[in-house]
């Protein structure tokens, strides 16, 4: 089981980083002997979960890993329920819609529909983002388990991602309280310069949010007035998804 746990730690690195990885850097990063890392990478390569570059000898995600992740989306109830509503939301607003969840202290977009006002950036499906620098993360914390905010601040801190990232714990706590009261979060350039997001919670019958529904917008377009205009549509869509997931009510919007 120890060998399996080490192998999964190595595979996790490919889920967390969008870049080829080599034996030495993985061994140094994870504290695993280079010989063991090499054996694990070779096994994943031989079984199609990783691919090795013949020149650099580094590894990147293989086709079987893609197929495994795709099966998660196909079998996930949230994805099936949310997609039709997301398409309507994109048609109505022109902005890209995303559904995001939290794993540990990181946020991942699991589903997206690109809008005509598409802005390229790190919000793409499958990429991990820090909890404190995203609108989705703030919403998931605001409607998450008690004490989670303090646990994450203590264990992960609030490092800069951009010069607009909130890194002061007192200010961050105030923002989370505001999100809990209002039911939405807006971020502008905190994760990526030029990109902004507006997110609201999704519920399935529990007061704990299971995910968020968000809109990704070019930063110059998401003015306060535009956010106010978009919010009713976003809450309406979130209500529709939440009721299908089993929520009896949705506490925000009209």
Q: b/e string for 113-146 if b means 16 or more Cβ within 10 A?
A: bebeeebebebeeebbbbbbbbbbbbbbbbbbee
Q: Is pLDDT larger for residue 79 or for residue 135?
A: 135
Pick the CATH number of 2-66 from 1.10.10.10, 3.40.50.1110, 3.40.50.150, 3.40.50.720: 1.10.10.10
pLDDT band, very low/low/confident/very high, at 120 (cuts 50, 70, 90): low
Whole-number pLDDT of residue 116: 85
pLDDT band, very low/low/confident/very high, at 87 (cuts 50, 70, 90): very high
Nearest to 25 by CA among 15, 34, 14: 34
Which pTM was predicted? 0.84
Map out the domains of the chain as residue ranges: 2-66, 76-245
Q: Specify the CATH number of the domain 76-245.
A: 3.30.450.40
Instruction: Write out the two tokens for 17.
Output: 């980083």
Question: pLDDT digit string (tens) for 37-76?
Answer: 999 999 999 999 999 999 999 999 998 988 887 787 777 8
């Amino acid at each position: 089981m120890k060998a399996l746990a080490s192998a999964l730690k190595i595979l996790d690195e490919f889920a967390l980083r969008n870049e080829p990885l080599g034996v030495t850097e993985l061994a140094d990063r994870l504290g695993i002997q280079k010989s063991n890392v090499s054996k694990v990478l070779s096994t994943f390569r031989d079984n199609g979960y990783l691919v090795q570059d013949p020149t650099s000898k580094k590894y990147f995600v293989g086709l079987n890993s893609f197929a495994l992740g795709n099966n998660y989306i196909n079998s996930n109830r949230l994805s099936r329920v949310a997609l039709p509503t997301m398409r309507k939301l994109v048609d109505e607003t022109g902005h890209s819609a995303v559904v995001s969840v939290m794993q540990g202290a990181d946020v991942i977009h699991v589903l997206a529909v690109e809008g005509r006002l598409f802005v390229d950036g790190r919000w793409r499906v499958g990429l991990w983002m820090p909890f404190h620098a995203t609108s989705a993360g703030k919403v998931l914390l605001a409607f998450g388990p008690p004490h989670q905010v303090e646990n994450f601040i203590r264990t992960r801190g609030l490092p800069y991602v951009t010069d607009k990232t909130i890194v002061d714990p007192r200010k961050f706590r105030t923002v989370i309280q505001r999100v809990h009261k209002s039911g939405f979060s807006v971020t502008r350039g905190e994760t990526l310069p030029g990109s902004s997001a507006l997110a609201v919670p999704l519920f399935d019958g529990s007061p704990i949010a299971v995910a968020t529904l968000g809109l990704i917008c070019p930063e110059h377009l998401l003015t306060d007035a535009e956010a106010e205009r978009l919010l009713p549509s976003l809450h309406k869509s979130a209500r529709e998804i939440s009721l299908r997931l089993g929520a009896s009510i949705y506490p925000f919007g009209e």
